[in-house]
Structure 1
């Protein structure tokens, strides 16, 4: 969000209470709301913070003065926030009615800006991602499709299905930035003077010249990286993890934690090799792998299906072929319904 939109939103919400929103302000805010669902959600959050701060006095707010006051506080610390909260309490007790009307507006406008300031790290990620989308070229894949693109610096990127990459025609300045939604395999051209940064959700991955696989699908709520060559700085939630070859690092959006370990998953690059390997693999883990590889969802009608393991190798097979091969040693049936697979019976080998 560009800084001036804060002012428009503050004036919009304040004026809306009186039923007299300036037409120019209304157009600015409504045009911004139409741009994305994320903007609409953010507006509702800001409006709720305004509503929670209490009733607006029936006086015309000095929006310009209020904005000048609160905009200077966007980067203040939590200590400053607490100090202002204390001032608000004192103000309620001691101020006159006239001063209260104006100061009340200040405090309410400040609550909006402080709310944004407290979440500034995640907010900046969202906004920088949106900016990358608007400013850059885009290559995308559909279900079952992969694509390879060579970027201006010689970096090669192979996209998995249902993925998008946003990148510039030429890398200018002292950085190389791209945005990934989905999964891709990167072979980054070495340039020690220009770090290569990939934005994925709330994560930044920075390298100089490496080979790695990076995965981020919004519906999975995590970002995962497998490093094959070189060294990577993986940053999320204000923490940085250095990743070495053979390691897998993952950031969970729900817990906001980073975990790192040696890779033990033989199928993490199956989307590239076309080969799935299972060696006494628990059925629930096998199902998760098939869901990830084929971008589908399984529904099992019998919980006992999870109490066993499976051994087998599949090479360039469709999902239907994999299940038909598994049926040779198990007594189950399956039915495909759109992007879902309904499994009936026992998946465990007999």
Structure 2
């Protein structure tokens, strides 16, 4: 093998597998190469850092020829504008402008799945109705309720929908941690029960953390307004009314004090986006979930694509990163409209 460059390495499937430790043969190949060519270590380490720092963990079950053709074309176009001499400035500018995008596409289409280690993800968002339950799920799952509300159920959490959900109130029972996006309905308040703590909302987004057992419950309000109450044999006690960006930690025991505290909205957003998994999910479901998770309206110009499917996994990624890969898989582009909506066209 002749002297290698960063650009060359980023186009090698085996090198990406080596960086992500996803193929034993590729790992052995590049470890042996480094032993035989220590003079190339700096270039290899620079390219490896770009792959790992990209933090794009998209995966697909099969290699799609049409997408690979587009990928090769993208790579060839980028090669025509790369300077002949690699400089450190290239890593900061070209990576942001081109190479990270190329890496993302290669990861999306070419990274082999390790099925035994994959978190379980539904084919599409799971719709649950009155009387349904979901217990101790092994991985995060987005649930859609029959009233149009959404629940992001954390791993290990359990949820049960009251059989009378939607008649006079919308009651759910939670153990663990979940984020709720309650559909607006002033006639039927949305209530989350965790032990003897009740959180009530009319139409809002909030997280309830009951992961520390039955001793305490943490509520964080993202938008809207919620009332937090303690239920006992003596009646119902109002503990607090939360406004956006306020949180409260309440205790099941009546002799423990509670205190409202502010929290960082970006921390909650980071929690929501820490792992997003789509497994052969219809594009319509993908977009509805992204709108909920990122609180951003997204429109699809070609509605025929709603029936197409998308497979991918993200970790702590921005909406733009998710949209970049989604649009690449659909062979589409996106832009922000004058009224601050995302249009995929």
Q: Given the two structures, how large is their TM-score scaled by the length of structure 2?
A: 0.38
Bigger relative contact order (CA 8 A; separation at least 6): 2
TM-score (norm 1): 0.37
- Greater helix fraction, Structure 1 or Structure 2: 1
